[in-house]
Amino acid sequence: MTTPIRWGILGTGSIAGQFVEGLRALPDADVRAVGSRTLERAEAFGGERGIPNRHGSYEALASDPEVDVIYIATPHPMHARDSILCLEHGKHVVCEKPVTVNSGELEQVLGAAKASGKFFMEAMWMYFTPNIRLAESLVRDGAIGKVRMLTAHFGFQADADETSRLLNPDLAGGALLDVGIYPIAFALLMMGGVPKRMTSSACLGQTGVDEQSAYLFEYEDGAIAQLSSAVTTTTPYDAWILGDAGRIHVHAPFWGRCPGYTLYQGDDEEGTYVSEPLRGNGYDYEAEAAMQAIRDGLTEHPRMPHRRSQEFMATMDALRAQWGLRYPFE
């Protein structure tokens, strides 16, 4: 039996609970500790889930000698601070997306990661979920010929509460950083990198953040990606990759950890539906990948390397610059 890797959970919100549930699918993952800004919330979160070590501050969690790797699940503007805290305490780190709010913050985190020699990865679960991996392999193997176009959308109608994380500028709210990162990550994965040119449009709402936004990516070879995101409008949750010899319809690539895809080749109009069942709730795949990389002594994961996080942040910085969207703390 492999020695279990001991996880600490930093923050006790919605995604933290789902990630812990994902870890339960991995017999070699030990959810050892949780840290919250208050001991009360750490006790409540840890008590409900049988997590033994419960800390009333993030510092106490980062100092816990029984923890190997910390999963950061705080709002975006705290990601840099919390990642650096954990790296400086000698912990490996898996940090929720977006990894930071801008490229400047990311460079500080990567500096701390380098200095610590510890593993650091942005938790882009989509890169590890089985049906996306299968669809990507088909694209790479030329199953649909040369990719010419791609469409991907991710938007939902959130509560109109202007103080919520999604609309609050102090918490780096807006569609781009919260959900737009997924269609962008999907395009970079399937198109094989960043575009040569980006045009975009955004609707900035009452609180000044982008309630909905759309992006058009143009690649060197003429391929085009049309992407959109929203936190005030529900969009279709799907994506298409269109090649000169076929197409792939990816079902809910950003929701439910992607249940499957349909491949159409040549003149086939019926398509072949493929659905690899998920093992846990789907967050287990990114956690498993991080654990393997840590066991292998890596400081970044080859499938979600630091360079890819830099590409996400540079892309989102450039889009926000097109709209004049800066957060109050920037």
Ligand X SMILES: NC(=O)c1ccc[n+]([C@@H]2O[C@H](COP(=O)([O-])OP(=O)(O)OC[C@H]3O[C@@H](n4cnc5c(N)ncnc54)[C@H](OP(=O)(O)O)[C@@H]3O)[C@@H](O)[C@H]2O)c1
Binding site residues, ligand X, CB under 6 A: 11-16, 36-37, 41, 73-76, 78, 96-97, 123, 125, 165, 178
CB of 237 to ligand X, least distance (A): 13
CB of 315 closer than 8 Å to CB of 194: yes
Task: Name the residue nearer to ligand X (CB basis): 78 or 241.
Answer: 78
CB of 74 to ligand X, least distance (A): 4
Task: Name the residue nearer to ligand X (CB basis): 78 or 258.
Answer: 78
Task: Name the residue nearer to ligand X (CB basis): 36 or 102.
Answer: 36
Task: Name the residue nearer to ligand X (CB basis): 231 or 241.
Answer: 231
CB of 245 to ligand X, least distance (A): 33
Write out the two tokens for 217: 């990516």
CB of 251 to ligand X, least distance (A): 17
Task: Name the residue nearer to ligand X (CB basis): 144 or 176.
Answer: 176
CB of 281 to ligand X, least distance (A): 10
